[in-house]
């Protein structure tokens, strides 16, 4: 009976009926009933996205508008900078940037995308964190911004080398967009927010669409024979090959952006000596990590054998075991590499490329090597 | 003559005298999805009934394959290690996992025949 209640309490995205009709295998994810795969299966869905185009329902993610009470978007940007270590003021209209909400200890509360839509900011946050993120925004930014939860919108990702051609048929402006461009555009006549970004390492788009129009737009995109529906299983293997962090696994409240090897996402203006240095939660700890280094670091890992090394596997410095030196935070099989791939945290002294380490899998210590990420070259249109 | 029996954990056993050939069922492979890695027990290992004997991994997850009966591993199928996708294409045939010398035939009593297994997965 409990299982039935749990099933019933799962939320559904506006594309739920479409997933079921397409044969999606539905599983609970972040409180939603979501497709983990379709009849093609994870392997084919993954490879199809890399060779053609995949359509992903990411409507479970949170979409939030930050509207400045002053009417000036720069005021919303300055307000948001109190919660993130990124330079938001410098995000030009029509552009988007990757960011993190940090806590007082310098840990990461969530990672997100921030777009400047000219008169307001548009945020996309993780599904599992969206309620907490909204509360966090309301608690800290309500004096300066109206925090507008855009719950009546779906989010569709279209990813892969044929995404541009597929979307061009429905949105004339989309081929002119560059990686991390974002703005309101009509797609097949529907008022959407389109960004050239994603979570696969491929060129592609994310399309925010009113819930009522989501199924029609998804079906129109899927009418293109180059476009297949892709489930959460392949979404995870694609992002892992792309070296992208999964919140709650590779980053969380116990990891700083420096430990997570996300220094590139913190602009110089917010670091020590910058024009607006600090002024975000945990600045002391995060800037200390920038200035003095952190004792551990997220790295890419390539197992030598065929056995996948999965999340939770303990890492060791030598084949004789002893004390674990770190842990795998994401790992699995990379279909494009036809080999296992993983990422995890190791002491900085052991984080150099080509360092040999060992992972414990079913009582055995398997050799693996610290490797550069992304594991698969990304194909963003810069 | 060979008799095929099934476990509730979705292994099959083809029994020929005191030797059983063990694999996972077509239902099991359909639930796992694309198999990318198989690990088999060492030849000569003495397996106890219900102990983890082999591992089969899809892109997403690892699953144990349990010894359906006690006995000594006589032979393993290296072809399925070299080509894990065989599990998806021919779970009940070419993708057998290992052969085991049955210690105690009375352990077969708790296993299902094909009709019972079909009802179990219906």
Beta carbon pairs, A and B, within 8 Å: 45
Residues A143 and A166 in one domain: no
For chain A, how many structural domains are there in total?
3
CB–CB of A37 and B57 under 8 A? no
Tell whether A337 is covered by a domain. yes
Residues A227 and A281 in one domain: no
Evaluate whether ipTM surpasses 0.85: yes
**CATH number for position A93:** 3.30.70.1400
- For the entire predicted model, the pTM comes to 0.95
Tell whether A379 is covered by a domain. no
Query: How much is the pLDDT for A198?
Result: 98
Residues A187 and A280 in one domain: no
A297-328 confidence digits (pLDDT tens): 999 999 999 999 999 999 999 999 899 999 99
B2-37 confidence digits (pLDDT tens): 899 999 999 999 999 999 999 999 999 999 999 999
CB–CB of A332 and B39 under 8 A? no
Q: Is B59 on the interface with A (CB under 8 A)?
A: yes
Tell whether A107 is covered by a domain. yes
A192-209 confidence digits (pLDDT tens): 999 999 999 999 999 999
Q: Is A48 on the interface with B (CB under 8 A)?
A: no
Query: How much is the pLDDT for B2?
Result: 87
- Report the pLDDT averaged over residues A81-107: 98
Residues A178 and A140 in one domain: no
What distance in Å separates the CA atoms of residue A47 and residue A335, rounded to the nearest whole number?
7
CB–CB of A43 and B37 under 8 A? no
**CATH number for position A353:** 2.40.30.110
Residues A269 and A200 in one domain: no
Residues A43 and A183 in one domain: yes
Residues A34 and A181 in one domain: yes
B85-105 confidence digits (pLDDT tens): 999 999 999 999 999 999 999
CB–CB of A335 and B59 under 8 A? yes
Q: Is A19 on the interface with B (CB under 8 A)?
A: no
Residues A341 and A273 in one domain: yes
Of A5 and B101, the structure prediction assigns the larger pLDDT to B101
Last residue in a domain, options A95, A117, A149: A149
Answer yes or no: is pLDDT of A21 > 90. yes
Answer yes or no: is pLDDT of A160 > 90. yes
Q: Is A184 on the interface with B (CB under 8 A)?
A: no
Residues A162 and A145 in one domain: no
Tell whether A101 is covered by a domain. yes
Tell whether A255 is covered by a domain. no
Residues A272 and A355 in one domain: yes
Residue whose tokens read 């700083």: A256
A219-267 confidence digits (pLDDT tens): 999 999 999 999 999 999 999 999 999 999 999 999 999 999 999 999 9
Q: Which chain B residue lies closest to A334 (C-alpha atoms)?
A: B59
Q: Is B77 on the interface with A (CB under 8 A)?
A: no
Residues A201 and A268 in one domain: no
Answer yes or no: is pLDDT of A3 > 50. no
What distance in Å separates the CA atoms of residue B112 and residue B4, rounded to the nearest whole number?
9
> Pairing relation of β-strands A227-229 and A53-57?
parallel
Residues of chain A with Cβ-Cβ distance to B33 below 8 Å are 37, 41-43, 233
Q: Is A107 on the interface with B (CB under 8 A)?
A: no
The minimum CA-CA distance between A43 and chain B, rounded to whole Å, is 6
Residue burial A344-370, b: 16+ Cβ < 10 Å; e: rest:
bbbeeebbeeebebbbbbeeebbebeb
Tell whether A253 is covered by a domain. no
Q: Look up the domain containing A186 and give its range.
A: 4-50+158-241
B93: Cβ contacts below 8 Å, ≥ 6 apart: none
């Amino acid at each position: 009976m409990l299982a039935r209640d749990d099933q019933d309490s799962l939320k559904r995205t506006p594309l739920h009926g479409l997933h079921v009709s397409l044969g999606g295998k539905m599983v609970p994810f972040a409180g939603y009933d979501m497709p983990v795969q379709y009849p093609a299966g994870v392997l084919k869905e993954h490879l199809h996205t890399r060779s053609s185009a995949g359509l992903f329902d990411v409507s479970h993610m949170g979409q939030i508008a930050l509207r400045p009470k002053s009417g000036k978007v720069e005021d919303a940007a300055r307000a948001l900078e109190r919660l993130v270590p990124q330079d938001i003021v410098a995000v030009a209209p029509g552009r988007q940037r990757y960011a993190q909400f940090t806590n007082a200890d310098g840990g990461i509360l969530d990672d997100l995308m921030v777009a400047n839509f000219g008169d307001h900011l548009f945020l996309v946050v993780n599904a599992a964190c969206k309620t907490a993120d909204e509360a966090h925004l309301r608690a800290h930014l309500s004096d300066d911004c109206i925090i507008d939860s855009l719950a009546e919108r779906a989010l569709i990702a279209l990813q892969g080398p044929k995404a541009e051609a597929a979307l061009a048929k429905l949105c004339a402006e989309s081929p002119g967009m560059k990686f991390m461009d974002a703005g309101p555009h009509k797609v097949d006549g529907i008022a959407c927010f389109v960004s050239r970004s994603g979570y696969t390492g491929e060129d592609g788009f994310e399309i925010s669409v009113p819930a009522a129009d989501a199924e029609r737009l998804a079906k129109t995109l899927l009418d293109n024979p180059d476009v297949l529906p892709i489930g959460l299983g392949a979404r995870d293997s694609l992002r892992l090959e792309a070296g992208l962090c999964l919140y709650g696994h590779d980053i969380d409240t116990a990891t700083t952006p420096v430990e997570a090897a996300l220094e590139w996402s913190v602009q110089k203006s917010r670091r020590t000596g910058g024009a607006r240095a600090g002024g975000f939660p945990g600045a002391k700890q995060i800037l200390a990590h920038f200035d003095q280094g952190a004792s551990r670091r997220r790295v890419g890992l390539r197992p030598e054998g065929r056995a996948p090394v999965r999340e939770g596997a303990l890492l060791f410095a030598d084949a004789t075991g002893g004390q674990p030196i770190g842990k795998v935070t994401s790992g699995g099989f990379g279909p494009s590499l036809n080999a296992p791939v993983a990422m995890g945290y190791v002491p900085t002294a052991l984080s150099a490329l080509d360092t040999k380490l060992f992972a414990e899998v079913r009582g055995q210590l398997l050799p693996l090597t610290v490797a550069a990420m992304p594991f698969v070259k990304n194909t963003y249109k810069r | 003559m060979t008799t095929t029996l099934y476990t509730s954990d979705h292994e099959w056993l083809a029994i020929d005298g005191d030797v059983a050939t063990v694999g996972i069922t077509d239902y099991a492979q359909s639930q796992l999805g694309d198999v990318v890695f198989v690990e088999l027990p060492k030849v000569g290992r003495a397996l106890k009934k219900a102990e983890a004997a082999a591992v089969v991994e899809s892109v997403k997850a690892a699953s144990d394959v349990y010894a359906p009966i006690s006995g000594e591993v006589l032979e393993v199928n290296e072809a399925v290690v070299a080509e894990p996708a065989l599990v998806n294409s021919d779970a009940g045939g070419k993708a057998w996992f290992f052969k085991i010398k049955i210690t105690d035939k009375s352990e077969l009593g708790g296993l299902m025949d094909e009709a019972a297994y079909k009802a179990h997965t219906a």
